[in-house]
Amino acid sequence: MINSHSTHSKQTTKKISTKTPLAIACAILPLLAAPSWAASESAAVEEVIVTAAKREQRLQDYAGALSVVNNFQGVKNIGDIAAQVPGLNIVDAGPRNPTGLIIRGLRMDEIDSNDLGGDGALVTSYVDNIPLQGYFVPPSFSLKDLQQIEVVRGPQGTLYGNASVGGLIRYVTAKPDLEKYSVRASGELSQTKHSDDLSYDTDLVVNTPLIDNTLGLRLLLGKTDNAGFIDNPYLLSGAQEDINDDQTKQARVSLLWQASDNFSLNSSYHYQKINVGDRQAANESFTGDDYTASSRYLQPMEGELQLASIDATYDMGFATLTASVNRYDYAHNERADQTDLYIGLDAAYYDNAYFTPFEDLSAYNASTVDVVKDSAELRLVSDSEQPLRWLIGGFYSRDDLDVYMSDFVPGFNDYLDAGLASDAEYIATQQEVLDEYSAYGELAYDLTSKWEISGGARFFRYDDKLNVTKAYPFEDFASVERGDDVIDGTLGKLGSRYKFNEDLSIYFSAAEGFRRGGANLTPPGVTTNTFYDPDKATSYELGLRSEWFNQQLQFNAAVFSTEWEDIQVSTTAEDDGRSITANAGEARSQGVELEVFAQLPGGFSLRSNYTIIDAELTETVEAVDAFDGDRLPGSPRTQFSVALDYLQAIGSVEWDGSLSFQRMGEVYTALNESYFNYQQLDSYNTANAQVGVTLRNWRLGAFVNNIANTRGITGGRADDFYGDQGQFEYVTRPRTVGLSVSYEY
């Protein structure tokens, strides 16, 4: 239970066909009859250890939908991860904008310009034990020197709390090796179609024991420079080419102290800075070209991320005690063209209200965001080998958020002879402080040697304080709006797992997740629409985990149904026209997820996944133009990917290669046609290939990404309010061909 003090055109919606999962099952069943390669000498599928349940365990023993990505060959950003994980969809708007993470179709926000994010994240993200702050996650978080990425699908409220409605993405960094000194240096050079410049990527990783088996250091240094491929001849400053280039610099240092067999201390610091020239977006309908933009101003972004953590672990024999103290610090500034917004508003300085028309109207927005999240967690986890297993923990965090934004109309101050200090037409500031207090626990018991039952709960409280000021210098008007809220409640989880043998098990889980509520901005004296409540998801899942033919084949499957209640939506207050967040409606997401991993003869291996999702509203709320049966925006009904990998030593030379294919189904950008930004994004296919050869310590490689040069559209702005020139669409990166070299010892 969670407590808070505080003209439609109907689209046809298809239900999940029961024939589809049946057809998939029929296609896979022949694999379960011993194939000719089952008796071969192929190696077993690699055993993977995961920690998403806050204890170490085999991936195949995890009673839930968890996927692990640990093959980073050719992986550059989180968008590349989606192809390897069923049920995960990425709204890829390029490195300038926040990456929209959607798990199992749960999203209500429109897929639009998304400069500073939406109402709040529905997928929680962690780097080791460091929680990241909602939508203010760097759009290009570097994936260099990671051990693995764990993606948990379905609500994770008991262990991870806020924003885990859809699931969890956890980046696990590589830790210092206390025994071996190693160095890895790599470089990459590539050419993207439609770009006049080359892209390059370099990094250096050094691991050194400082005291054998006691103290170790690991250092990462990296730099990436991606050439742009979008041109813009409409800039007021003059035409420019390749405007969407981006540069990222990063450093990470980790220090591990193994003081004894029972006690260890790991500390780390991560720094990342990114500069982006403009959106990865084009306006083909206005410009007539697939990769040409039409904005009047460049729209750059600069972001600086710092992560710091200290983790102490003490093995008490019967249980392990872990204490973690973390800081997330992100500073972000950007500029966006607002000319077409002001034209659409038919603003006073454009429609002759000042008696003489202001002919040279143009406008842009400048914004800065500074957010600091400090957190601490203490947990005690029992021995995993006992029939009764438990964990208990406590968590505290404080978010400090400062936002400043201003709209500028160049030349208007002089036109009015207003005598103001700048051309700022609108200025807004926002300060928010959010405190979270949580306690959680989970319990698992082996009823027999094969049957396990489990349960968990989380108790939480949020204190939210919000203050916003707004000013309109040309109108000599200012306002102050405040909002304070307190939210508390509990979340639960139940599960059961039956293990037929070491290679075959089934599980069932019922779990809750939530996204915190908060306070709306409220002018003095206003008492309506002051708060919005948390929204909550309850998921029911039945899954299979299996290994066949001496662990040469893994087949995992999950069937799920998620009920999403009190959905948070952006709307306008009827009494005073304020932009607010309200709770409106319910939705259901249900579907099937399949994963296959196979080791084949001759050094080949196969990985594939398939997802079918039906995510739609189940309640009509006319106040926000949301109707029963509307499909939730942002996710396709079907996703499919397959990859064939190769690794084989021939003499003293090792050869490797990979060929991958991904099918992305059609996506809607909003609930229905009553939303101005509503459009259907067509399905598209992407194929990538890479090959490499390793001799002694050297590896030489070549790759082609987006082999067919597919132009996929992932979102954008289709609202007629902005006129023809103000619209745009986010596009995928064109075909990129490159060479790489690395040295390791």
Q: How confident is the model at residue 116 (pLDDT cuts 50, 70, 90)?
A: very low
State the burial class of residue 225 (Cβ atoms within 10 Å of its Cβ: 0-12, 13-18, 19+): middle
The separation between the first and the last C-alpha atoms of the chain, rounded to the nearest angstrom, is 55
Is the pLDDT score of 458 beyond 90? yes
- Distance, CA of 502 to chain centre: 34
Q: What is the pLDDT of residue 584?
A: 83
Is the pLDDT score of 475 beyond 80? no
Is the pLDDT score of 6 beyond 60? no
**Does an H or E element contain 21, and which?**
helix 19-32
Triad 556, 76, 150: Cα angle to 5°: 35
Q: What is the pLDDT of residue 663?
A: 94
Q: What is the pLDDT of residue 719?
A: 79
Nearest to 296 by CA among 362, 230, 240: 362
Which residue type does 556 have? Answer: N
What are the φ/ψ torsions at residue 702 (nearest 5 degrees)?
A: -140, 150
* CA–CA gap between residue 46 and residue 48 (Å, rounded): 6
Is the pLDDT score of 31 beyond 50? no
Structure tokens at 308: 């710091």
The pLDDT mean for the chain works out to 88
Q: What is the pLDDT of residue 42?
A: 64
pLDDT in tens, 426-445: 899 989 999 999 999 999 99
* CA–CA gap between residue 267 and residue 326 (Å, rounded): 10
Cβ atoms of 244 and 228 within 8 Å: the answer is yes
**Average pLDDT over every residue of 101-106:** 92
Is the pLDDT score of 210 beyond 80? yes
What are the φ/ψ torsions at residue 474 (nearest 5 degrees)?
A: -70, -25
* CA–CA gap between residue 282 and residue 234 (Å, rounded): 12
* CA–CA gap between residue 48 and residue 51 (Å, rounded): 10
Strand 123-127, strand 167-173: pairing = parallel
Nearest to 64 by CA among 164, 175, 137: 164
Question: Long-range contacts made by residues 113-117, C-beta under 8 angstroms, separation at least 24?
Answer: 113/336, 113/716, 113/717, 113/728, 114/715, 115/334, 115/336, 115/367, 116/367, 116/369, 116/403
pLDDT in tens, 540-558: 999 999 999 999 999 999 9
Nearest to 395 by CA among 491, 315, 304: 491
Nearest to 151 by CA among 216, 59, 277: 59
Is the pLDDT score of 711 beyond 80? yes
* CA–CA gap between residue 322 and residue 648 (Å, rounded): 41
Q: What is the pLDDT of residue 171?
A: 93
Is the pLDDT score of 415 beyond 60? yes
Q: Which residues are within 8 A (CB) of 262 and not within 5 positions of it... i.e. 6 or more apart?
A: 314, 315, 316
Q: How confident is the model at residue 745 (pLDDT cuts 50, 70, 90)?
A: very high
Q: What is the pLDDT of residue 108?
A: 87
Nearest to 235 by CA among 301, 292, 302, 194: 292
Q: Where are the domains of the chain?
A: 2-744
Q: Which residues are within 8 A (CB) of 223 and not within 5 positions of it... i.e. 6 or more apart?
A: 201, 202, 203, 247, 248, 249, 250
Is the pLDDT score of 10 beyond 60? no
Q: How confident is the model at residue 231 (pLDDT cuts 50, 70, 90)?
A: very high
Quote the percentage of the chain above a pLDDT of 90: 67
Q: What is the pLDDT of residue 420?
A: 77
Greater model confidence, 256 or 568: 256
Greater model confidence, 81 or 290: 290
Cβ atoms of 276 and 300 within 8 Å: the answer is yes
DSSP state of 228: P
* CA–CA gap between residue 64 and residue 556 (Å, rounded): 10
| HSE-CB for 724 with a 13 A CA cutoff | 5
DSSP string, 706-717: STT----EEEEE
Q: How confident is the model at residue 722 (pLDDT cuts 50, 70, 90)?
A: confident
Nearest to 726 by CA among 333, 237, 345, 407: 345
Triad 302, 251, 195: Cα angle to 5°: 50
Q: What is the pLDDT of residue 524?
A: 67
Structure tokens at 98: 């926040």
* CA–CA gap between residue 164 and residue 353 (Å, rounded): 50
Q: Which residue has the tokens 């991936």?
A: 59
Helix (H, G, I), strand (E, B), or coil: what is residue 23? helix
Cβ atoms of 632 and 616 within 8 Å: the answer is yes
Q: What is the pLDDT of residue 17?
A: 44
Is the pLDDT score of 323 beyond 90? yes
* β-bridge mates for residue 590, sequence order: 561, 614
Q: Which residue has the tokens 């989380």?
A: 458
Q: What is the pLDDT of residue 397?
A: 96
What beta strand segments (E) does 154-297 contain?
A: 167-173, 182-192, 198-211, 215-226, 246-258, 263-276, 281-282
* CA–CA gap between residue 114 and residue 137 (Å, rounded): 13
pLDDT in tens, 296-308: 999 999 999 999 9
**Does an H or E element contain 325, and which?**
strand 319-337
DSSP state of 602: G
Cβ atoms of 349 and 360 within 8 Å: the answer is no
Q: How confident is the model at residue 113 (pLDDT cuts 50, 70, 90)?
A: low
* CA–CA gap between residue 624 and residue 629 (Å, rounded): 14
Cβ atoms of 346 and 360 within 8 Å: the answer is no
Nearest to 328 by CA among 376, 360, 395: 376
Is the pLDDT score of 352 beyond 70? no
In the chain, how many H helices and how many E strands? 6, 41
Strand 49-50, strand 57-58: pairing = antiparallel
DSSP state of 177: P
Cβ atoms of 356 and 388 within 8 Å: the answer is no
**Average pLDDT over every residue of 261-274:** 97
Helix (H, G, I), strand (E, B), or coil: what is residue 373? strand
Q: How confident is the model at residue 718 (pLDDT cuts 50, 70, 90)?
A: confident
Lowest-confidence segment of 65-69, 419-423, 550-554 by average pLDDT: 419-423
Greater model confidence, 74 or 450: 450
Lowest-confidence segment of 53-62, 130-139, 146-155, 232-241 by average pLDDT: 130-139
Q: How confident is the model at residue 3 (pLDDT cuts 50, 70, 90)?
A: low
* CA–CA gap between residue 30 and residue 19 (Å, rounded): 18
Q: What is the pLDDT of residue 189?
A: 98
Structure tokens at 186: 């790599």
Cβ atoms of 701 and 186 within 8 Å: the answer is no
* CA–CA gap between residue 320 and residue 33 (Å, rounded): 43
**Average pLDDT over every residue of 403-410:** 92
Q: How confident is the model at residue 1 (pLDDT cuts 50, 70, 90)?
A: low
pTM: 0.91
Q: What is the pLDDT of residue 314?
A: 98
pLDDT in tens, 495-507: 999 999 999 999 9
Q: Which superfamily does CATH assign the domain made up of 2-744 to?
A: TonB-dependent receptor, beta-barrel domain (2.40.170.20)
* CA–CA gap between residue 597 and residue 166 (Å, rounded): 24
Nearest to 735 by CA among 701, 702, 711, 714: 711
Q: What is the pLDDT of residue 12?
A: 38
* CA–CA gap between residue 209 and residue 513 (Å, rounded): 42
Q: What is the pLDDT of residue 91?
A: 83
Nearest to 717 by CA among 95, 98, 89, 115: 115
Which residue type does 289 have? Answer: D
Strand 684-695, strand 579-583: pairing = unpaired
Which residue type does 382 have? Answer: S
What beta strand segments (E) does 11-86 contain?
A: 49-50, 57-58, 65-69
Helix (H, G, I), strand (E, B), or coil: what is residue 722? helix
